[in-house]
Amino acid sequence: MSLKIGVVGFGQRAGLWRHAHRPDDGIEVTVVCDTSERGRSDAAATLPEATVTADLEVLLGSGIDAVLVTTPDHQHRAVAVPALEAGIAVFCEKPMATTLDDCDAILRAGHENKTRLYLGHNMRHMPAITQLRELITDGRIGEVKTIWCRHFVSHGGDYYFKDWHADRRNSTGLLLQKGAHDLDVIHWLAGGYSTAVSAMGALAVYGDITDRRDRTGERMGEWFSLDNWPPTSLTGLNPVVDVEDISMMQLRLDNGVLASYQQCHFTPDYWRNYTVIGTEGRIENFGDGPGDKIGLWNRRHMGYAEPDETTIIAGGIGGHGGADTLMIAEFLRFAAEGGPTRTSPIAARQAVAAALLATDSIRGDNSCLPIPALDPDLIQYYEDGQA
């Protein structure tokens, strides 16, 4: 397999290039595009053999076979669509986009140009999630009826409230930017997509912090620290902070499954807890990293009971329990050869749709809102494997 790879957006998530740059295997990152001086400087220092440019047309015309789109979320469409139109296989980081119009434009561009499109939902490769799903598909809890997810985000203040994420003009909100991970997982574990959602939320903590400054040119790793505690003590927040730091939503899926998702950005701990209840038992994870545990209850108990069975969560090499390595390897194979993938452009769009409508519910009257339908031709094309 021989591939020339481009990267657009050399910021926090661009570190995925390390999994794609394998010169000994004939796979090389040959060009990087970033509109910021900091991004270009970092790229030139990190990948001295690669062409570094601020001009997307230079990248698109450089002869690359595939591109990693790791720009801020609201810029995905502006990069992914012309790349797909140019016949370049696209890895688009999640969330797919910040509007349904942008999502559907990306899907149409892949369909109309028959160019391979891959969405970077790395949690579908995380051992904690794949092991939960294996228990479900093995029939260990019967038919799934409900899923509850609680997401404790201790790093929220540093990760999302000191840069562009805090401004809804860029991120829409953290139910989308952060929650798209979990909503995709809920859909995957449940085997269906949301048809209606409702939500409540608030900017409960970070909106009261008045110490703000522009961090243009900085990177999250330069201000992140576990010593930044309690959340009310944080300084140097983004000049605009207008996204919710606590959200809770309910989902009704097309197969009858009911789900809930709760996200808080000022907790002391950082992990996701999934509870999946079926007709013959339930499963729940305690921690979501290597060495943590998944409990299975499949017989009746009086009061609280320890799990009837316990599974240890596996590990892997690379970020997110090895998920990033596996995800990029799958993308490279897909870009070169096609074939089935664990992630799904349709699923990515449906996760965005659920997040967007839930955000509308929060900022409206908390009512239940229907998920807009997607063109059946697009669904068939992508679910058939983009063949």
**Digit-coded pLDDT (tens) for 195-216:** 999 999 999 999 999 999 999 8
At residue 324, the pLDDT reads 94
79 occurs within a structural domain: no
Residue 217 confidence (pLDDT) above 90? no
42 occurs within a structural domain: no
Strands lying side by side in the sheet with 246-253: 309-312, 293-297, 281-286, 271-278, 144-152, 258-264, 246-253, 194-202, 369-370
Q: Residue 6 forms beta bridges with which residues?
A: 31, 67
pLDDT: is 11 or 301 the higher one?
301
Query: In terms of pTM, does the model score above 0.85?
Result: yes
Alpha-carbon distance 52 to 30, whole Å? 9
pLDDT: is 317 or 289 the higher one?
289
At residue 379, the pLDDT reads 97
Cis before 82? omega within 30: no
At residue 317, the pLDDT reads 72
387 occurs within a structural domain: no
Q: Can you tell me the mean pLDDT for 274-294?
A: 97
161 occurs within a structural domain: yes
At residue 127, the pLDDT reads 96
110 occurs within a structural domain: no
At residue 123, the pLDDT reads 96
376 occurs within a structural domain: no
Residue 316 confidence (pLDDT) above 90? no
346 occurs within a structural domain: no
Q: Residue 298 is part of which domain span?
A: 124-323
Q: What CATH number is given to the structural domain containing 153?
A: 3.30.360.10
Please tell me the total count of domains within the chain.
1
Alpha-carbon distance 78 to 58, whole Å? 15
177 occurs within a structural domain: yes
Q: At residue 140, what is the residue type?
A: R
At residue 12, the pLDDT reads 81
At residue 150, the pLDDT reads 98
